[in-house]
Amino acid sequence: MGKKADKELIIGGIRTDQRLPDQMRDVEMEVGVITSSNGSAKVSFGKTTAIASVHGPRSLFPKFLQESTTGIMRCRYNMAPFSVDDRKSPGPDRRSTELSKVIRQSFQPTLMLEDYPKATVDTFIEVIEADGSTRVTGINALSLALASAGIPMKDLVAACSVGKIDDTLIVDLNGLEDNNSESDVAVAMMPRKNIVTLLQMDGVLTKEEFMTLLNTAKKSCNKIFEQQQATLMEKYKGDE
């Protein structure tokens, strides 16, 4: 990250997986994939797949963690040992601790948990296949899972990654691109309200490049948002 690519990853305007710079991988979304949870979803961006599961609102213990005026959300992001070619050692590490925290924070502005004092909404993201952009894939899945659990939210959250390789902005980085990009940025936003809720950047960009990148990210988030809405509508059509 934050370096020149060792090999050419964009040739004649086409990426190694035949995509155009602003083209996302095939995006698949499914809601209701775990029957025992209150809400769940699976989202794939190409070969990256994340499952999100929501449990609650439910009483929060130990009691000293309770907030008397609102419920809270907890989040655990985890990459399965079999999700990458080089087996990842199981269990939490610094990266998953950081990602769990920033993912939780990316939902903070949209959640309306005031009606659930002393309660928790426990959320889990399991990355079962990782080929770049796992945090944003997980966020998109969690957004659907929270909605399907009926958790009150001001807006969905949609997320995507954008990076720079050979002075070209590319959307939805795969693993190879992620490892070789000069810069990569993860963006999550509340699309209807146009509020950015997560912005993490590796590498260096000029201010102009950054502003262009942010606009590109917003356009992609809006496309993802449309697909999230369509997925929820399809699942719950006819339900009153």
**Contact status: 182 vs ligand UDP (CB under 6 A):** no
Alpha-carbon distances, residue 139 vs 64, 90, 91, 135, 220 (angstroms): 28, 21, 20, 6, 14
CA-to-CA dists, residue 59 to 64, 72, 124, 153, angstroms: 12, 10, 17, 20
Least distance CB 137 / ligand UDP (angstroms) = 8
The stretch among 27-35, 36-44, 70-78, 124-132 that binds ligand UDP (CB under 6 A) is 124-132
SS3 at position 163: strand
Shortest distance (Å) from residue 168 CB to ligand UDP: 18
Residue showing tokens 């050692």? 89
C-alpha–C-alpha distance, residues 169 and 89, integer Å: 33
Amino acid at 176: L
Under rule CB under 6 A, residue 46 binds ligand UDP? no
When asked if residue 201 is in the footprint of ligand UDP (CB under 6 A), the reply is no
Q: Which is nearer to ligand UDP, 15 or 135 (CB)?
A: 135
CB 49 within 8 A of CB 206: no
Q: Measured from the CB atom, is 95 or 193 closer to ligand UDP?
A: 95
Q: Does 177 bind ligand UDP (CB under 6 A)?
A: no
133 interacts with ligand UDP by CB under 6 A: yes
